[in-house]
Amino acid sequence: MLKIGHRGAKGHDPENTIISFQKAMELGVDGIELDVHLTADNHLVVIHDDTVNRTTSGTGLVSSYTLDELKMILIDSQHEIPTLEEILNLIDKKIFVNIELKGKNTAKSVVALIERFIEERNWTYNHFLVSSFDWMALQEVRTLNPKIAIGVLTQTDLALAIGFADFIQAKSIHPYFHLLTLEKAEIIRQKGLLIFPWTINEMEDIQKIKSFQVDGIISDFPDRL
């Protein structure tokens, strides 16, 4: 079973920061999950929300800032918002990365960056997994480059997600863990899909989900997996 650090090691360090991803690697993760948005000048940055309000000292939409402007706004008064490229350079093929498309129009830029790292930096397609709740964005990724592995996120309707994942030839389903049962896990497996539920932090829940024989778990505390 794969250990996947949620926004790095969110339970230990500020989410989606270089220090958080470093911590996840120190804790022995197989992969990390992160979120991307585009800046006003079309740079891919790693941040969860569409605004900077919750996690930084600033306010306003991520997409309204240039990269230089975003770098001035700090998380916990000390950490910069990283670019996706900075995080890829940090992990340097040692683990895989699950890139969640959060912001509008991120699909094309993410595909281009993945292709560049494969062509120029000797990464492979196995290092990348692109997921989203925005299934239209996943459809765009599939159209742009069928070799990129896709993960279908769902918080509500597992049956619908399974159907879409089957249709789009996804690699994995990423369900909110409360949606999962042993029977549903078996249905997903029969479709040939991997199961990466999120975000599981309590030991009792971790043990329960492990008993469903999932392929990986996304957690704020990867050291508990």
Catalytic sites, residue numbers:
6, 48
Beta bridge partners of 71: none
Reference 107, options 82, 133, 81; nearest CA is: 133
- Under a CB-based contact definition with an 8 Å cutoff, are residues 131 and 100 in contact? yes
- Under a CB-based contact definition with an 8 Å cutoff, are residues 149 and 172 in contact? yes
Which are the contacts of 101, defined by CB distance < 8 A and separation ≥ 6? Answer: 36, 107, 110, 130, 131, 132, 134, 137, 138, 141
84 backbone dihedrals φ, ψ, rounded to 5°: -60, -40
Reference 151, options 100, 116, 201; nearest CA is: 100
